[in-house]
Structures are given as C-alpha cells and as structure tokens.
Structure 1
Amino acid sequence: MLKKFKISLAAQILIGLVLGIIVGAVFYGNANIQTYLQPIGDIFLNLIKMIVVPIIISTLIVGVAGTGDIKQLGRLGGKTLIYFEVITTIAIIVGLLAANIFQPGVGVDMSQLEKTDISAYEETSAQQEDQGPFHILVDIVPSNIIKAMAEGDMLAIIFFSVIFGLGVAAIGERGKPVLAFFQGTADAMFWVTNLIMKFAPFGVFALIGITVSKFGLSSLVPLGKLALLVYGTMIFFVIVVLGITAKIFGINIFKLIRMIKDELLLAFTTSSSETVLPRIMEKTEKMGAPKDIVSFVIPTGYSFNLDGSTLYQAIAALFIAQMYGIHLSIVEQITLMLVLMVTSKGIAGVPGVSFVVLLATLGTVGIPVEGLAFIAGIDRILDMGRTVVNVIGNTIATLVMAKWEKRFDEKKFAEYQAANLK
C-alpha cells in the first residue's frame, strides 16, 4: 500500500504565498481581482480576531488563579516591563545607527515617489495626542470590560483578567467551578484555533495576492534602499541582539526559529501578529513555560514589546529627514529616541500603529510629517518583516521570563525540541 502523503501547514502556507504572488503579478492593477480576494482575506483575519480575546481571557484567568500569588505576579510584571523596555530601546538605537551609517534617504528623487493619502492616520494621531500624556495609564483600567473586549483593547483585557483571576483564587473552593469553566473555554478555543489554521493557506493566498496586485513589485524600486536596509537591519537585530539575549538564557535562536517557522511564515504573509498569537501561546507552553507566564507575557508583549515596529520607526524617521536634507544632531536623535520610547507604548492596538507613532513623533524634532506619504505605498511590504520580528521577540521574551523566574521546564523543552527538530 502507498503511504498517505501529507503536506505540512508550513508547506501549504508557502504554496498559498507563491500562488498569491503569481496571481497578484498577473492581475497587477486590476481592481476586480482585489474585489474577489479581499473577502477571503478578511474572513481569515476575522476568524483569528474572533478567538484571540476568549483565549487571552481564559488562559490568563486560569494562570493567575492557579498561581494565586499577588507578589509573584507583581514580580513577574516588573521584570517583564523592564525586559521589554531594555530590548525595545536597543531596537531603536540599532535602527538609528543603521540609518546614520547607510543613509537610505540621501539622494532619493522625490519626483519618482508616488504620494499616498495619509489623512486617516493624521486624524488618529491627533486623537491620540488630544488624550494627554497619561492616557495609557487611565486606559489600562476599563470602565466597561465588554466594550474593551469588543474593541480588542489588550491592556484593559489583561488588567481585568488578572484582577478576576486573583478574585477566583481568593474565594478558594467556591472559585473551582469558575476555574473549571475557563479551563474548558481555553481548551475549546485552542481546538478552534487548530481548525481555523486549516484555512490559513487560503487566507495567505488572498492577502498576498491583494498586496502584489495593488502595489506591484515596481513600487519597491525607488524605495529599494529603504526596504533593503529595513530587512537587513531586522535580520541583524534578530540574529545578534535577540540571539545573544536567547543565548544568555540557554536558548538557541536558530533552533527556536525552526520550531515556530509555521507561525513566522503566517505572520509574514498576513502582516498580523494576531493571526499567530493563539498558536504561539500554545507552543511556548508546550516548550516548558508555565501557563500564567505565557498568558501574561505574550499579550502584554503585543502592546509593549514591538521590537520590529520600533526599529522600523527609527529608520523611517531618519529616512524622511535625509530625504528632505534635514541634518539631525545627536541631541535631536536622542530626543527622537526618547519620544519613540513613549509614543510606541501609548497607542498599542491602534490600526496602522507604526504610521501613527511616526506622525506623533516626527514633529518633535522638526521632520515634515508629509514625508510619510512617500513611504506609505510600501508600508505593507515593510510591515510583513516587522511583524515577524515582533513575533520572534515576544516568543523569546516568554521563555526568558520563565527562566528568569526559575519556573522553566527544561525537560519539557528538550523533549519538544527533539520531537520538532528531526
């Protein structure tokens, strides 16, 4: 009898990616193909968004209630935020250094660049600035948790889930039925995740097809130097900065990337970290990180630990300055870095977050925000790369926190690694 042939999820996604690029290139500039493909891409993204909030709430409540130790949780929270701040600051510095050394904006012929309408981003940026500098602290505490869940406000959801989990732990025996309910919810949602992933190749095919048919590969030519620098710097950051960080805690970055290759390919093609959040949570737990650390660090990282996004923002800011012939002094670049550190945290969950952060930042050092219109055309292509870096960064952060807290299961990790790196 012939052995049953099975194509892995990664191979299926890769096939979807290649076919999507071919279809997009063949129908470049054809609005009709976008009309047909958009619903498929939207359905896939909506399926993922549908399960993200229930998974985060259920796993976090189970994790916190299972621990029931507010001191331990506070210690984990403090260490996590310190780690996030150090790594994202290094990402900004690496981005600034890369832009200073290679100067991608020097000599760019602005007449070749097509301007894109960024008015929607400007409106969002103005709304964020109107809220004042402390709005992030206020927004963490939801006035209406149902509204926060509907809007996907991650920080508010995390805050509520942690408080609720502590409450379940505090009432002892009476909380056990509640705990069992949320454990069952988490298990059911992970089953649903695996079901939705069967649709991933179709979603990838549609989303990449739309991107190529809309912008074409020719859009990269005038901004090729910027695209190459962004991708090159991201690869350097992953291998050197995240690689050394992982090595300090006894993790091999290359082996880790191989273990999450399916999720990275999916994140790259969809430009969405949300599409892989449930799977990354499931995998890091299987690798040996405790449930409460996984369910706290990964969702928080999606708001505070966007390494790829902050690195890109630093390069893009200097690219626009160089394009306009504006020289930024060391003091101005330090100011830019400090402002990026604050603004990149303050608007987590806002659509087009990287653009909105740059709009809120560029004016502080005298860079014309209109310059963003020139790079908006290839933002989707750059977004694919920075999404991958964000996912790798948050995966490493989870394992690092588990090791830092001395609660990492080395045996479980070794067994998972042996089973998945054959």
Structure 2
Amino acid sequence: MLKLFRRVSLTQWILIGMATGVLLGFLFPVGNGGFEATSLKPLSTIFLRMIKSIIVPIIFSTLVIGIAGHGDDMKRVGRLALKSLIYFELVTTVALFIGLGAVNLVKPGVGVQLQAPATTGAELAAKGHDLTLGSFLEHLVPQSFAEAAVHNEVLQIVFWSVLFAVALSQVRGRPKELMIGFCEALAEIMFKFTAIIMRFAPIGIGAAIGVTVSHSGLGVLVNLGKLILTLYGALVVFILCVLLPIALAARVPIRKFLQAVRQPALIAFSTTSSEAALPRAMQAMEGIGVPRRIVAFVMPTGYSFNLDGTTLYLALASIFVAQAAGHPLTFWHQLTMMLTLMITSKGVAAVPRASLVILSGTLATFGLPLEGVAVILGVDELMDMARTTVNLVGNCLATVVMARWEGEFDPNAPVIPPEESPRQLGVEQEPGVGRIPDHRPIAGDMDPASAD
C-alpha cells in the first residue's frame, strides 16, 4: 500500500484533494446543523501562509542572482524591463476588450435584480477612490524593506531588490562574491523549502475547495450562472485567440509548456491565490529552459502588470452591473470605463480582493449602483478561480516569450518536475562571479529518495 501511494504524483494528489474537498463541501454545507466543511478553513489558511512566507526570500535571491550575477550589463536589464512592460500592456488591453465584447454579446446582467445591500460595495469603493496614479507611484517605493516583506508587497520587493542588485553589480571583489553566494544558497534552500511545503498542498487545497463549495453551494450557481459562464467562455476565447497565437508566434513548445504549467495552474485554480502558485511556477519555467534572470524579473512583475484574467473580469463585471441596474452605457462611456480600468488595475495585486476594490471604485466613479458588487460577491470565489488561473498561465507564457525575445530560451531543455527528480543547472553568468557549479542541483529539486 505504501508503494502504491508513493507512485501517485503530487499533481494527482492535488486532484484527489480537490475532488475530496468538493465532496465534503457538498455533503456538509453551511447551516446543516452539524459539521460544516467551512471548519476546514484553518488547513487552507496554514497552507497559504506557508507559501506566502517564502515569496520574499525567493524573489529577492533570484533577482539579485539574475541581475548582479551578469556583471555590469545594466542595459540588458533595462531592455528586458521595457520589453516586458510593452508586452504586458498590449496583452491586458486585448483582455479588456474581449471582456467588453463578451458582456455586450451575452448580456448576462439583463434580468438580474439588484436587491443585495450596498454596504460592502461602498466600503470597497472608498478604498478604490484612493487608487490614483500618484498613490500607485508612492506605493511602488517601500519606506522599509522589512515592512514590504511583512505585507508581501510584491511590487515593492521587486523595486527594492532590483536597486539592490544594481548596486551590488557595481561592487568588486570578495563582498560581491559573498553576497551572490549568499543569495544562491538562499534561493536553493527556499526552493527546497517549497518542495517540503508542497507535500501539504493536497490537504490545503482540498480544504480551500471544501470551504468554497460549502459556503456558496449550488444555488448561487443557478442564480448567477450566466455571468459565470460568460466569464469562463470569455477566458477560453482569450486563451485560444490571444495566448495560443502568441505562443505559436514565439515558437513556444506547447506540449512542454502545458506539462510544466499544469501543477501551478491547479494550485492557482483551487486556492484562488496567485501567490500560492508563484514559487512552483518559477521552478516550472526554469525547468523548460527559461533563464533564471528572466523568470526572476518577469514573473513577479507580471503579478502586478499582467493580470490578464483579472482585467477581462473587470470589463465584464462593470458592464454586468450596468445591465443589471438598467443603466445602458454608450460605446464612448464604455470605452472611458475601459481606459479607467486599464490604469487603476495596475500594481494593486497585493490589495485584498483587489478586483472588487477596483470594480467598486469604478462603479462609484460612473454613478452605477454598488449593490452590484454585493451580488457579484456571492459568486466571486468561483470566478476568481478561473481568472487567477489565467493570470498565472499568462505570466508563465510571458516569461517564455521574453526569453525568446532576448534570444535566451533553450527549447531543448527537458521537462523534469522539481518534485520528482533532480536536474543540473548551468547559469549563464560572468566566469568566477556567482557561478553555481554544474554538479549542484537546481533550487527546488528534491533528492531521488524523497521523490513523490
């Protein structure tokens, strides 16, 4: 029996955990008078907290290695940043207009009654009004790295780490070697730490799914099923008509990419947390041939600027509320709203329920009823699963596209899941500076004896 369990891969255990969670949530819903599946929430919270605890050291160490380990070539870093931001802006703009087209075509808000209280929407709108360009720029720069680390402010951590790496690249001799050696050791240890945490993933993910099903039930799916199906359909269109053509144009090995991204996507879908899937996604992209320096920069930055699923959802949800309120918007009003969402949706990934905050602020700006937010809130977790997954897949694809654009993608790299077997690392770095010897395993690999 023990040998049989060991043959089951981590991905299969996650699927088993998800199925078990759905069953528990259905059998023990909220208000059944006995055990409720919502009691499992501490298990999912523990898993998410463990994952979040390693995000800061992973981002810091990999960014420092990726930038400072390449010597003084800061033009290379700047070029990557510019290309990434251009790509992010183009793709998210297309996502906005796909969402806009889907909601105008299907009209899921027509016939929906807005009878829920507007209290929640008003509170979120108050936060949304603070999301200006000035506040975003201020939020970008941390007043304390420790404070940014405590609150897992990914964009602030990236900003500070990039400046630290640039400063380190200008240092010579032993201090530089010591710091890069420290970051290499930290990165390897934290990815090993990730592999340990992932053994708890099936339990944490199963608990998260159980809580969602127990709380939402099937009735809410019937009431707002049209909105959910519209979102899922629009996301499928976005994947097939935008992400897939981009992947083909960039000559991304589709089968290899899907094989690498399946496990992080399952984590993102089941936990509705991009942060929970970040460490495994970074490992997976390195595993298919994307250089560490590109993964370390593009992936965390994309979590603030390349939220494809979230931007599509915002376009759809805002017009849905207008339809439900019987408040038709002209094409120019809708276009203005899209431009507003395009600006306000950047850099707020760390805000709790960021999409609802942005949506509420936008609705208040255009005079639309905030009761719509309270209605959407009932099925937000179910929609959040899909948009979070698309966010993750879009960011993973962005790392491969940037690697192709930079001419550094290795299409012949074998896909070896980090939790199943080790592989060797060859980092393109300045000779003698921050070089990880080829006999050392890549961060995140596990010993064969501990493989799933």
TM-score range, shorter chain: over 0.9
Shift of 1:384: 0.4
1:149 corresponds to 2:152: no
Shift of 1:196: 0.5
> Which residues in structure 2 correspond to 1:212-291 (within 5 Å)?
212-253=213-254, 255-291=256-292
1:53 corresponds to 2:56: yes
TM-aligned CA distance change 1:127 to 1:228, over 3 Å: closer
Secondary structure at the counterpart of residue 179 of structure 1: helix
> Which residues in structure 2 correspond to 1:290-301 (within 5 Å)?
290-301=291-302
> Which residues in structure 2 correspond to 1:330-345 (within 5 Å)?
330-345=331-346
* Cα contact 2:132–2:344 (8 A) shared by 1: no
Shift of 1:109: 4.2
* Cα contact 1:128–1:347 (8 A) shared by 2: no
Secondary structure at the counterpart of residue 134 of structure 1: helix
TM-aligned CA distance change 1:418 to 1:149, over 3 Å: closer
TM-score (normalizing by structure 1): 0.93
Instruction: Name the residue aligned to 1:357.
Output: 358
* Cα contact 1:335–1:365 (8 A) shared by 2: no
Separation in structure 1 between the aligned mates of residue 134 and residue 37 of structure 2, nearest angstrom: 41
Residue 194 of structure 1 aligns with an amino acid whose one-letter code is: A
* Cα contact 2:128–2:360 (8 A) shared by 1: no
Residue 55 of structure 1 aligns with an amino acid whose one-letter code is: I
Secondary structure at the counterpart of residue 110 of structure 2: coil
Separation in structure 2 between the aligned mates of residue 330 and residue 347 of structure 1, nearest angstrom: 27
* Cα contact 2:290–2:399 (8 A) shared by 1: yes
Secondary structure at the counterpart of residue 410 of structure 1: coil
Separation in structure 2 between the aligned mates of residue 25 and residue 118 of structure 1, nearest angstrom: 29
TM-aligned CA distance change 1:46 to 1:367, over 3 Å: same
Residues 277-323 of structure 1: CA distance to partner in whole angstroms, max 9, x if unpaired?
01111111121111111100000011111100110111111111111
Instruction: Name the residue aligned to 2:98.
Output: 94
Instruction: Name the residue aligned to 2:415.
Output: 416
- Of 108, 117, 122, the match for 1:104: 108
Instruction: Name the residue aligned to 1:33.
Output: 36
Instruction: Name the residue aligned to 1:314.
Output: 315
Residue 86 of structure 1 aligns with an amino acid whose one-letter code is: L
Q: Please, what is the CA RMSD of the aligned residues?
A: 2.1
Shift of 1:238: 1.1
TM-score (normalizing by structure 2): 0.87
TM-aligned CA distance change 1:346 to 1:292, over 3 Å: closer
- Of 75, 80, 96, the match for 2:84: 80
Shift of 1:124: 5.0
| Structure 1 gaps, min length 5 | none
Separation in structure 1 between the aligned mates of residue 327 and residue 170 of structure 2, nearest angstrom: 58
TM-aligned CA distance change 1:116 to 1:243, over 3 Å: farther
Separation in structure 2 between the aligned mates of residue 131 and residue 105 of structure 1, nearest angstrom: 26
Shift of 1:35: 5.5
* Cα contact 1:242–1:253 (8 A) shared by 2: no
> Which residues in structure 2 correspond to 1:100-249 (within 5 Å)?
100-110=104-114, 115=116, 119=120, 122-130=122-130, 132-173=132-173, 174-249=175-250
Shift of 1:199: 0.3
Moved more, 192-201 or 278-287: 278-287
Secondary structure at the counterpart of residue 109 of structure 2: coil
Residue 143 of structure 1 aligns with an amino acid whose one-letter code is: Q
Residue 217 of structure 2 aligns with an amino acid whose one-letter code is: G
Shift of 1:172: 2.0
TM-aligned CA distance change 1:116 to 1:248, over 3 Å: farther
TM-aligned CA distance change 1:208 to 1:13, over 3 Å: same
TM-aligned CA distance change 1:259 to 1:50, over 3 Å: same
Separation in structure 2 between the aligned mates of residue 150 and residue 247 of structure 1, nearest angstrom: 40
Residues 214-262 of structure 1: CA distance to partner in whole angstroms, max 9, x if unpaired?
1111111110100111111111111221000111100254552233111
Moved more, 87-96 or 399-408: 399-408
Shift of 1:61: 0.9
- Of 31, 40, 45, the match for 1:42: 45
Separation in structure 2 between the aligned mates of residue 99 and residue 268 of structure 1, nearest angstrom: 23
Secondary structure at the counterpart of residue 69 of structure 2: helix
| Structure 2 gaps, min length 5 | 420-452
